[in-house]
Structure 1
Amino acid sequence: MDKRNTAAILPLDGEWDFAYTRLAPDPEHAVFPGEEEYETRIPVPAYWDDCQDRMNFTKFWSRDCLINPDYRPPAFPIGLNPPDASLPTMIGTGWYHRTFTAEAAWADSCVTLQIGGVALEAWVWLNGEYIGHHLGHLTPFELELNRGLKPGEANELIIAVSNGRKDVLGCSIRGFKGKGGGITRSVCIRTAGKAGLGNCYVRTDQSLHSLYWEIGVRRSGYSIQTLSLDWAVTDGEEGAVSSELPVIACGTAASSDGDFTWTTETFGLKPWSDVSPRLYRLEFTLRDGSTILDHKEQAFGLRYAESREKALYLNNVPIFLRGITEHAYFPETCTVPTQRSYYRKAILSLKSMGYNWIRFHTWVPPEECLIEADRLGMLMQVEAPNGFTESEFLDILITCRRHPCVILYCCGNEVQIDDTMEEKLKRMSEHCHRLAPDCLYNPMSALFNIELRMDEKESGYTKNPVPHNAVRLARVEAFSDALSPWIGLFSYHSMFHDMDKLNGRFSIYHHPCMIHEAGINDSWLNLDLEHRYEGTRIGTSLYAAARAYMTKMGVVKNSPLYYLNSCRWMSLTAKFSLEKARLLSSVSGYDYLGGIDCHWHRTGYAVGMFNEFYEPKPGFAPEDVISYNGESVLLTNCTPHRNLQTGEAFSADIFVSLYGPNPIKRGLLSWYLEDENRRICARGGWEVRDVPNGSVTPLGTVHAVAPAVGGRGAHLKLRVRLSGEYTELTNHWDYWVYPNGTKKEEFSGIRVTDRLDRESLSYMSEGGRILLLGSGPFPALLTTFQLMTGGRVDGNCATVIYDHPLTRQFPQEGFCDWQFYSMLEGGEAVVFNNLDIPFDPILEVVSSYKLIRRQAGIFELAVGKGGLLVCALNMHNNEPGTVSLYNSMIRYLSSDEFRPKTAVTDRWLCSIMDSGYNTTPELAKIVYEDMGGQVHGSSDLYSQIR
């Protein structure tokens, strides 16, 4: 193909004159800054806040500029609803000015100004004439310049950029980066011939046998009777010299009335998918007779996404979306990176754990990310920010639709769907289905006012089978392809395990469902990462504030252990939640919150399987995560109750969630039970046949008997493998077995009670030993096996079991694994903050680092000649683990090893008993939705800016 091109690029990156005003311009009556007001020069592209050294001596910086009024430095302890972390960004309007020389030949050219991105909107003037306005911070844009251009002369270009909008909010403009202003991407002038190529979009349909071509043309007012368009599909790696690429197909299209549209076959092109991301190149050359006017090239992937009943399909193959919630946190750059290497590392890291989908929470990734996702096979959902305008949504569609990685378009996060919003969602659906019919429309991430926070008096509200607005749901489903229900039973209440009720919860939906934000569990802060923030725009302030508070509270030395054990607890919760989701036949995916820690949110948000540098956290080895987060996974119906006694028969139903192109016609399922020394206790297996793909299928039941174990008991793993012609899957589940016997032991001289009185004190003073079950007179908070919610203040994020004569008698690995489920549920932890005695727990329950409480689930005190062992955990059941721990405490109390380090007096205990401590747990109301992500009315301060 002849590609001699009259098109040319004039780069405008570099230094621009810069002025500042608080107010945004009135484009029809613009008052431009005077020459003296352009007090400095700043680079393009750049954010204003990265150029502060250029502004320090300007008058506007000293007197006039507005600094982010929401800024406050991180500090701990913090209140119950922590704000997003922020920086003192400059707010207002930046005026960019420069001149350029237009070639005389441009008089007969199509001339466009191309701007890669601004934050948050821009107005453009050429030679004093208003050219246009762009609203939005997520997409590039271009404006035609022919109207005001002076060919062969110097031309004056002014771009005003304002970041004062208060009516829009999304993750890429929240937190440390905030609504930082600037021309954030490259600027250039592009010239073509008398006509130029516009947007180029090629798609297929469900059959994968046809290509539909839509190529836009700009004519710039010139009369051209007939244009022709040479097109070609070539095969080759990105970056190769296009003239050397093998041509798969080519042809010529003609048009006399504007844009080009035509249909062809697919020429044997192989489909693009997350498993096989096959890309080709498209080439377009626009001609007027023999004169070449313009030329463009772009990548192409043959891909079609659709929903069928409650299932998702990609290229007619059933697919399960294993996604993460992308919160736009970038510790090294603060603002959205522009390096492809960053996104390549991120995507490869996520794929190593089995993820095939990224949900971009209220934002759209840059072109560099989309290119890498196309190359590597990562599916994406892009979301308009909350408060978006119709034009912004259209820009998102046009920008993203040529990337095969983008299969879902969504209109925001957790916005109340009232009548007005419902109508808006319907209009966006029409745009999506018209402009990107090979993709899917997901109206809103979480369906507020349909399934949560409903008006019970509104028409359509029902409680059957679960509370929801059936009428509004039916209307929304009528224009949607997929849904993202808010189901807190995979996040805030992830230990819930009644599968029948969960299936009932999903029965109200008739479209494929991707669970909205599974996970949201918090870990302790890893202080070892603090130094990696040195010299960055974000800086070390959050980590330094947390370190200072931990030091003040005397826990900083334990911080590495708290972090390790919190991650171990998080890994248990993640596996349980995601396996539970995979068991549900009505679920087609989930976005797990989170992929990485995102510390701008709620001033510390350690919810990731990776830390913020895409390094796996402890407990999240990729080979382990992929066993429950891969394309296909083995599952079981085991509950959180994992304790057995010797000789107890138990069973586990085994299922497979099988996806990909192939069913299993014939396979072998094998299993074995091994102890901590990797000795096999039992094994078995059977043949499986005709397992369909795209569904959850029961494979049979493992039947086993808990083996005989000595002494303290043992930790067992049930390991299962499924082998088929195209399938090799493994997974495992943990159990604990204890020596035979469920009877709680009694020893003379050991008193067991749930309360202390004066007689108890006398008994201990004379040498008696007491086991106190429950918190007794001590201040305490409830415990649960539910890991605390991300970013919050209340709740617990770790447990520590210290080396101690008591704990050596019980099977444990330094933290409370599933064997403690029944004891933590409904248990308590004694709070030592105001007890004025040394904190020396045997079993510690670790609170949030944002509001540190020194808590002990088990501790001991010497009282007179005797002593007190306190176990505030839930010991009011007879399951094997509880009985074993109870008996271990009785034996320990009766032994010579009982020698508490901390001694208290009768008087001190009397003061505790008489103090009237309120032992009612200080349970804060959980704020489920992201209140910081909602758009509210403009404040007076911001309304002045706009």
Structure 2
Amino acid sequence: MIAKIDLDGVWELQLDGEKQGRRLPMNDTIALPGTTSFAKKGVSSEVEHADCLTDEYAFEGWAWYARAFDVPEELAGTNAMLYLERTRVTTVWIDGEELGTQNSLSAPHVYRLPNSLTPGAHTITIRVDNTDYPTKGGHMTSRDTQTNWNGITGRIELQFYGAAQVENITTYPNVESRTVTVKGTLVGAEEALLDVSAVSFNASREHAPEPRSYPVNAGEFEVVYPLGADALLWSEWEPSLYKLRLAAKQEESPANGYELTLGLREFKAEGGSFTINGAKTFLRGKHDGLIFPLTGFAPTTVEEWARVLEIAKSYGINHYRFHTCCPPEAAFEAADRLGIYMEPELPFWGTVTDETYENHNEAEQQYLIQEGYRMLEAFGNHPSFVMMSLGNELWGSKERVDGILKDYKAFDNRPLYTQGSNNFQWVPVILEHEDFFCGVRFSKDRLFRGSYAMCDAPQGHLQTGPQGTMIDYDDQIIPPVLTDGSASRGQSDGGEIQIQYGTEAKTVQADAAEGVIVPQVPVVSHEIGQYQTYPDFNEIAKYTGPLKARNFELFKQRLEEKGLDHLAEKYHAYSGRVAVEAYKEELEAAFRTKHLAGFQLLDLQDFSGQGTALVGVLDAFMDSKGLVSPEEWRTFCSDAVLLARFPSYNYAAGERFEAAIQLRYMRPQPLSEFTLHWELTAGNDRLASGDMAASALNAGDFIDIGRISFELPGVPAMTKASLRLRIVGTDIRKSYDLWIYPSGVVADKSGVHLFEELTDEAADLLANGERVVVMPKPDRLANAIEGTYCVDFWCYPMFRSISESMNKPVPVGTMGLSIDHEHPAFGHFASEPHSTEPWRHIVSHSRSIILDGTDKALQPIVQTIDNFERNHKLGMMFECKVGSGSLLVCALDAQRVGETTEGRQFLHSLFEYAKSEAFKPSAELELAQVRDLLR
């Protein structure tokens, strides 16, 4: 390029929703780059979306943009290109002459201008159409994420080139030889001299290889540029970069200059692991759907993307998977500088077909294939672009999918490829030409993540138990040898099966499956987590751009109508605490798995759509919700994670506690001899401690440090303790909460008027002023919600609908407990205001009674937090005055609860309270009301 003219600024605008054609004079103006919605063009909408944010100025149709520009005398007659960094379907006219139409959603639109461009004034007209795409567009066009905007974002410029022009520049770094191969095409000249130079930046030291010049001829060329034996390498730990400068020169014309970002790196799949420059790495990924609620579109500046990626990196993230979308170049540039491994994805979520399929759409298939080539050409030189996926949860022709992979690899072998994310769901397959596999299971029962939707049951261990930290997925990924030599995928022998398909359900054909899948490529767990938190209604005020949180406003209104709005902040905080603990176990289970190469979280941040899935510890703006600090999160999500493996969080005094201590270590700094310090504390008291010497030499990335074993001390009361681990002299640490119970505790119900139903006898006792405890059997209650410990998966409205359409069980949909932890009922059962592990077994054998319509004075002692769609007032345990008597209701199976140490402690505390003078409820209910509640 010899010069450019920025076209940023004020453009004429005409909205043409009916596609009638441009009318002159145009009736409005707009600042570009930008979108019509961001500029508040069109008619403000009062629509309220409950399932996603609302675009107040949503517009679909044609939008016409026009402006004048001047061509300087010295640039007239040169090769000129119009560059539109990111837009929709465009058609361009220069001085009324149509140049054509382009429709890439992922790559820049570049138009070649007429060579006869004269000096002086010219007009440019661009029509942008955000309808009738060749494909649905995934999250590139979804109102769930960045909205289906209309406009032009990023760079809008005229680029001028001399005669000797280089196109299709690709760079191929070679770590072993410390060189970079530069390929391209020389046009406009029979021959030219290509000057190549490089200078380091973003590095710990300066490095500038010797410049070189290479004669090149018209057509395709290839040159190898040596960077030197002391060249700097790019990785997540040291993202050293070079500015690679190229200049194509001819004596009679000005030189065309090009500048690219170069990272000398080799990202490979070796066996079941990923390596970067020969060192093993573990992908700690997050999902990204281009959610930017202040603008409604993805940013195109490095500074904005650096802010986002730096926040993610502060939480230990080293990898981004873009769900059915590709970010703008600024995202790759920021990732280059920060050392983030990027995986863009084709904008597709559907069925890959060929001519043998009914409703085969070859035009769509070809569009998607070409979109992949455009992504590779536009962004493939970035060192951060290390992986690529064909789409999300694809079905259809395995042969066609594998053929696309084969062709992409032949075209560009720099990134690693996968067939897609969680393709074929319950009947997965590993294809010949994919470099890594991304999914959630290898058969119905070979699960390798901790949570699933009910419609995808069986559910994961985070949702069903057991307690403790023993779970890993090694046997699920590489199954043990079967003694009879036979096995099945455990799902289908062919025929039709019903699947979750996008946000709906669909019946598909399942191929017959024989044998067991044993992966020979790295395995990445797909969209792990999805633990929902209750909305923070204080967030509403942050939506100052075109997107409005009318869904939040609706949820807030629903809560107010139920008379529960005073609990909103507690619901948010308490559900969030349970979600964080679930994420901790989810991530640790991944780190405990030797055969897993990485994970992709869904998500570190909230997802604004698909029912409103508030699954992040950060909100949609990437701001902290105040649930967990980055430093604490990194104790279980980083390149060095300590792991204690023990079977339970609950122990009786005098029991022996044993734990295997391991370290997943992937830092480049050697860790040879080191000391692990551990201690068990309760408040300011140290109950046990010790040191262990260990070595990481020749241990690989998975280090068995040793075992700790000690007898738990006697305690006079239920005691919360903290097991703390740290490697001396480093930042590597971990802590776990444990609970110790006094030995010999008996749940003595003598002296308690205890009933399983509100019988006539119980009613008579209440009428006589007695204290009564009713523990209804959970399976007999109709007016109640099933007890579950874990918070809701993803979002109740979406998966309720999917489950109903598939005739599958509907999710429980609750979000942990809100506990009046200072209530005297817990005098012998130390509690916090939110769910903790002592409650897991108890809640799992309980139900929560629906108390809708009862007086506000009736506040459950243990209240289950319901989801924002139902907003039931749910009482697992509540008390009230009935006549002159006192009634305590706790809907649980006392026999099952009493089978565990923590369950006996809970029943003991409950019964002791029921016998005491402290049992004096203030809220009042009529006997008939209670009977109706307990029906």
Is this contact kept in 1: 2:99–2:113, CA < 8 A? yes
Aligned counterpart, 1:801: 819
Q: 1:164 aligns with which of 127, 131, 154?
A: 131
Q: 2:899 aligns with which of 878, 882, 887?
A: 878
1:518-563, CA deviations, whole angstroms, 9 ceiling, x for partnerless residues?
1111111112222222x42113423322222222211111111111
**Partner letter of residue 577 of structure 1?**
E
Cα distance, 1:496 vs. partner?
Answer: 5.2
Cα distance, 1:355 vs. partner?
Answer: 1.1
Which secondary structure does the structure 2 equivalent of 1:490 belong to?
Answer: coil
1:171-190, CA deviations, whole angstroms, 9 ceiling, x for partnerless residues?
24223642111122332211
Gaps of 5+ in 2: 350-366, 442-446, 453-459, 479-516, 798-811
Q: 1:361 aligns with which of 313, 318, 323?
A: 323
Is this contact kept in 1: 2:54–2:549, CA < 8 A? no
Is this contact kept in 2: 1:582–1:657, CA < 8 A? yes
Aligned counterpart, 1:618: 626
Aligned counterpart, 2:708: 702
Q: 2:660 aligns with which of 626, 645, 653?
A: 653
Distance 1:694 1:390, change over 3 A: farther
Distance 1:237 1:190 in 2: 28
Distance 1:583 1:911, change over 3 A: closer
Which secondary structure does the structure 2 equivalent of 1:562 belong to?
Answer: helix
Distance 1:23 1:541, change over 3 A: closer
Distance 2:422 2:841 in 1: 32
Distance 2:68 2:164 in 1: 25
Which secondary structure does the structure 2 equivalent of 1:484 belong to?
Answer: strand
1:581-619, CA deviations, whole angstroms, 9 ceiling, x for partnerless residues?
1111111111111121232x1343211121233333333
Aligned counterpart, 2:450: 490
Q: 2:789 aligns with which of 785, 788, 806?
A: 785
Which secondary structure does the structure 1 equivalent of 2:131 belong to?
Answer: coil
**Partner letter of residue 624 of structure 2?**
P
Distance 1:808 1:815, change over 3 A: farther
1:79-118 superposed matches below 5 A: 82=51, 86-103=55-72, 106=75, 108-118=77-87
Range 791-800 or range 400-409, more displaced: 791-800
Aligned counterpart, 1:50: 38
Distance 2:613 2:747 in 1: 42
Aligned counterpart, 2:223: 262
1:762-773 superposed matches below 5 A: 762-773=764-775
1:218-253, CA deviations, whole angstroms, 9 ceiling, x for partnerless residues?
42xxxx332110010113469x9xxxx973221011
Is this contact kept in 1: 2:198–2:208, CA < 8 A? yes
Distance 1:363 1:431 in 2: 17
**Partner letter of residue 283 of structure 1?**
R
Is this contact kept in 1: 2:860–2:878, CA < 8 A? yes
Q: 1:730 aligns with which of 716, 719, 733?
A: 733
Distance 1:192 1:293 in 2: 8
1:331-480 superposed matches below 5 A: 331-386=293-348, 389-416=368-395, 418-419=396-397, 422-424=399-401, 426-432=403-409, 434-435=411-412, 437-448=413-424, 451-452=425-426, 468=427, 473-474=429-430, 476=431, 478-480=432-434
Is this contact kept in 2: 1:229–1:287, CA < 8 A? yes
Cα distance, 1:682 vs. partner?
Answer: 0.9
1:108-135, CA deviations, whole angstroms, 9 ceiling, x for partnerless residues?
52221111121x2112233444423221
Distance 1:152 1:664, change over 3 A: closer
Which secondary structure does the structure 2 equivalent of 1:398 belong to?
Answer: helix
Is this contact kept in 2: 1:495–1:577, CA < 8 A? no
Which secondary structure does the structure 1 equivalent of 2:311 belong to?
Answer: helix
Q: 1:132 aligns with which of 81, 97, 100?
A: 100
Distance 2:118 2:909 in 1: 91
Aligned counterpart, 1:813: 832
Distance 1:587 1:52, change over 3 A: same
Q: 1:847 aligns with which of 866, 879, 890?
A: 866
Q: 1:889 aligns with which of 892, 905, 910?
A: 910
Is this contact kept in 2: 1:103–1:153, CA < 8 A? yes
Aligned counterpart, 1:583: 592
Is this contact kept in 1: 2:201–2:240, CA < 8 A? no
1:39-89, CA deviations, whole angstroms, 9 ceiling, x for partnerless residues?
333333221223445x56xxxx9xxxxx9xxx94135xxxxxx46755551
Distance 1:367 1:555 in 2: 46
1:904-945, CA deviations, whole angstroms, 9 ceiling, x for partnerless residues?
3444445556xxx4xxxxxxxxxxxxxxxxxxxxxxxxxxxx
Alignment of 1:504 with 2:475, yes or no, is yes
Cα distance, 1:685 vs. partner?
Answer: 3.1
Aligned counterpart, 1:463: none
Q: 1:517 aligns with which of 527, 534, 537?
A: 527
Alignment of 1:235 with 2:235, yes or no, is no
**Partner letter of residue 191 of structure 2?**
T
Alignment of 1:717 with 2:722, yes or no, is yes
1:365-420, CA deviations, whole angstroms, 9 ceiling, x for partnerless residues?
2222222221122221111211662221111111221211221111211222x11x
Range 696-705 or range 773-782, more displaced: 773-782
Q: 2:747 aligns with which of 731, 744, 749?
A: 744
**Partner letter of residue 380 of structure 2?**
R
RMSD: 2.8
Aligned counterpart, 1:926: none
Q: TM-score, normalised by structure 2?
A: 0.84
**Partner letter of residue 210 of structure 1?**
T
Distance 1:903 1:128 in 2: 80
Identity %, equivalent residues: 21
**Partner letter of residue 878 of structure 2?**
F
Cα distance, 1:302 vs. partner?
Answer: 0.9
Cα distance, 1:864 vs. partner?
Answer: 3.9
Distance 1:124 1:217, change over 3 A: farther
Is this contact kept in 1: 2:531–2:793, CA < 8 A? yes
Which secondary structure does the structure 1 equivalent of 2:692 belong to?
Answer: strand
Is this contact kept in 2: 1:735–1:819, CA < 8 A? no
Q: TM-score, normalised by structure 1?
A: 0.83
Q: 1:39 aligns with which of 5, 21, 27?
A: 27
Aligned counterpart, 1:16: 11
Distance 2:298 2:166 in 1: 29
Cα distance, 1:197 vs. partner?
Answer: 2.9
Is this contact kept in 2: 1:84–1:602, CA < 8 A? no
Distance 2:40 2:931 in 1: 62
1:796-945 superposed matches below 5 A: 796-802=814-820, 803-834=822-853, 838-875=857-894, 876=896, 877-911=898-932, 917=935
Is this contact kept in 2: 1:384–1:410, CA < 8 A? yes
Cα distance, 1:144 vs. partner?
Answer: 1.5
Gaps of 5+ in 1: 1-5, 25-30, 62-66, 76-81, 453-467, 918-946
Is this contact kept in 2: 1:204–1:438, CA < 8 A? no
Distance 1:169 1:834 in 2: 45
Distance 1:287 1:702, change over 3 A: same
Distance 1:715 1:500, change over 3 A: closer
Is this contact kept in 2: 1:47–1:180, CA < 8 A? yes
Alignment of 1:7 with 2:21, yes or no, is no
Distance 2:918 2:165 in 1: 87
Is this contact kept in 2: 1:822–1:874, CA < 8 A? no
Is this contact kept in 2: 1:92–1:163, CA < 8 A? yes
Distance 2:392 2:828 in 1: 49
Aligned counterpart, 1:247: 208
Q: 2:675 aligns with which of 650, 668, 672?
A: 668
Which secondary structure does the structure 1 equivalent of 2:211 belong to?
Answer: strand
Is this contact kept in 1: 2:209–2:227, CA < 8 A? no
Cα distance, 1:814 vs. partner?
Answer: 1.4
Distance 1:34 1:620 in 2: 55
Cα distance, 1:899 vs. partner?
Answer: 0.6
**Partner letter of residue 716 of structure 2?**
G
Is this contact kept in 1: 2:72–2:119, CA < 8 A? yes
Cα distance, 1:212 vs. partner?
Answer: 1.4
